[in-house]
Each structure stands twice: as C-alpha cells, then as structure tokens.
C-alpha cells in the first residue's frame, strides 16, 4: 500500500513546477482510490537545487499539506530551499514528526509559527538548523508535551534556551535526546537538561565538552532507564572511578575519549546490562581495549579475543 510521496530531483535537472504538480495530482488520485490513507501520509522532499525547484516547493506544500495533513514531514533533503514561508506551509495541528535537519535559513519567526501550530509533535529534528535561531523560538519547546524524540545537534547559539525549555515542559516525556556538537553548553546547563529528562532511553552527547565523570554520576541517578549513551569526543570523561550504577545501559560509545581504564565497565554490579563498548580512538587505552568490545555469555571480547 502506497504511503510515501518522494520528490526526487537530480543535479542536471532540478524540480520544476510542472513535475511537482504532476506528482501532486497523482498523489491526490491515489488518495481518492484509497491507495494512500490520509492518516499514514508522509511527505518527503529531496534535493531541490534549481531556482525553479525552490520556487515550486512552497505551492506544493501549501496545496498538499493542507489537503492531506501528513503525520510526518521531512524537509532535510531540500534544506537549502526551506525558508519561514515553506515551514509555515508545512505546519498543521495533526503533524507528529518533523525533520528540519540542515534548514539553516529558518528563523525564530518560522519555527515559532510551527511550534505554536503543531503542538502535538512527537519527533523533532533540528540538527544543524540553528544558523539563524537566537533561542526565542526554542523556548517554545517546553509547550510540546507529547515530544518523545528531540535532536538539537549543532544548535549551539541557543544552549541556554534549550536547557530552559526542557526544564519547563518538554523534558519529562523525552525518550531520545541529541545534544551532539553543543560545545558551548555549560556544565550547569547540561546537568539541568539531564535532570529534566527522567524517561531518557537514548542520549547523544558527542563533543559536549562539559561532560565529565560527575555528569555521568548525575546521569545515572536522573535517567535510570538509559539504554544507549554516546560520549564520542568528550575529553573530560575519564571513567575513574565509576561509583554509580547504570542498571539499564546496553551500549556505550567512547570514541576519542581519554579513559585510563575500562575495568569499571566490566563490573556486573555497576553495569549489569552492558553489552557493547566502542572504545576506538581512545589513545590512553591499550591496543587490546581500544576496539569495539562485546560481551557474550559474560565474557568481554574484541575481534573474538578475550580482553
């Protein structure tokens, strides 16, 4: 059953108003013949590079989003063409998932309109989309009570607003959170984010320089359900000593960190559920440990060699 409309353009051609209108007409025809249920409709736009293609995106969104109210909209593939007008055309109250990765031309006005209109959002990706965001619109994240997945990687210009919005409302229900690349995040702000998200299952803190062993101790207490943790490129994470328990943690990535030893990670008491550790690039470890380590039947191995 057709549940996906994919607009795909190529480097030598580019989208045109005619090709987009033809796709839109075919989509409407499919809906009338019940091949595309409205509740499962998903709109994905890809690689609009020509000037005519950028101009065609807005009328396409205005015509079809309003008509079919797709639950998921992915604009990452045509990020260079997305402005506030396109974002406003994609906004509707039934929207549940929105991907704006790389949409650097979106401003606070556009994002504010989206967040005040689509208050039922469950998944939101803003990775590297913070070029013109000052933080005023990000404060509205606190009003998204249904949010379960949030990617803020690279939105470094508004780290204070990010921490504040999580504390004010959207944090309690979050299960997936990415703060990757927020090098300006201060220790106090980082700890505030973690304390506001007790239901986290997945956390990405790669290249968050404020992350330390103290942060891990707070994380273990604040997020007891955490299963996956990414700490790649966090130089202040030394893992000595680990005196807290991560009872649910299954996967841990430490690439580029500086731990003196991984011995504490092998503790059945502190990490009873841990199954895999990626320690590649850890210059402080021996060659035997600076690998992808896996636990099988209680034994830790790397490339089938016991460590």
Per-residue pLDDT reduced to its tens digit, 4-19: 343 333 233 444 444 4
The domain segmentation of the chain, as residue ranges, is: 1-70, 76-210
Q: What pTM does this model have?
A: 0.82
- Return all residues near 102 (Cβ < 8 A) that are at least 6 apart: 76, 79, 80, 127, 128, 129
pLDDT score of 277: 95
Which residues partner with 150 through β-bridges?
A: 124, 177
How many residues are listed for the chain in this entry? 307
Mean pLDDT computed over 41-56: 55
CB distance 173 to 200 below 8 Å: no
**pLDDT tier, 157 (very low <50, low <70, confident <90, very high otherwise):** low
- Return all residues near 287 (Cβ < 8 A) that are at least 6 apart: none
pLDDT score of 218: 93
CATH of domain 76-210: 3.80.10.10
CB distance 119 to 144 below 8 Å: yes
pLDDT score of 251: 97
């Amino acid at each position: 059953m057709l549940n996906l409309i994919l607009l795909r353009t190529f480097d030598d051609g580019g989208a045109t108003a005619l090709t987009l209108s033809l796709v839109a007409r075919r989509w409407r025809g499919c809906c009338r013949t019940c091949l595309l249920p409205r509740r499962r409709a998903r709109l994905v736009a890809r690689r609009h590079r020509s000037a005519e293609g950028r101009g065609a995106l807005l009328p396409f969104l205005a015509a079809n989003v309003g008509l079919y109210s797709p639950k998921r909209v992915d604009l990452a593939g045509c990020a260079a063409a997305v402005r506030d007008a396109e974002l406003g055309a994609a906004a509707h109250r039934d929207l549940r998932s929105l991907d704006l990765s790389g949409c650097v031309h979106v401003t606070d006005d556009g994002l504010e309109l989206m967040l005040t209109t689509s208050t039922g959002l469950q998944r939101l990706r803003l990775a590297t989309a913070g070029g013109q965001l000052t933080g005023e619109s990000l404060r509205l994240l606190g009003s998204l009570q249904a949010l379960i997945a949030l990617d803020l990687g690279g939105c470094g210009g508004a780290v204070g607003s990010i921490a504040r919005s999580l504390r004010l409302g959207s944090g309690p229900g979050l299960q997936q959170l990415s703060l990757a690349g927020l090098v300006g995040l201060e220790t106090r702000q980082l700890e505030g984010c973690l304390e506001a998200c007790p239901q986290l299952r997945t956390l990405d803190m790669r290249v968050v320089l404020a992350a330390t062993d103290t942060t891990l101790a707070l994380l273990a207490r604040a997020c007891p359900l955490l299963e996956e943790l990414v700490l790649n490129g966090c130089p202040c994470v030394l893992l000595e000593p680990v005196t807290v328990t991560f009872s649910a943690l299954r996967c841990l990535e430490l690439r580029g960190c500086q731990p003196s030893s991984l011995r504490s990670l092998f503790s059945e008491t502190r990490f009873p559920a841990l199954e895999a550790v990626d320690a590649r690039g850890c210059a402080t470890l021996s060659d035997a440990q600076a690998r992808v380590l896996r636990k099988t039947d209680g034994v830790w191995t790397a490339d089938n060699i016991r460590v």
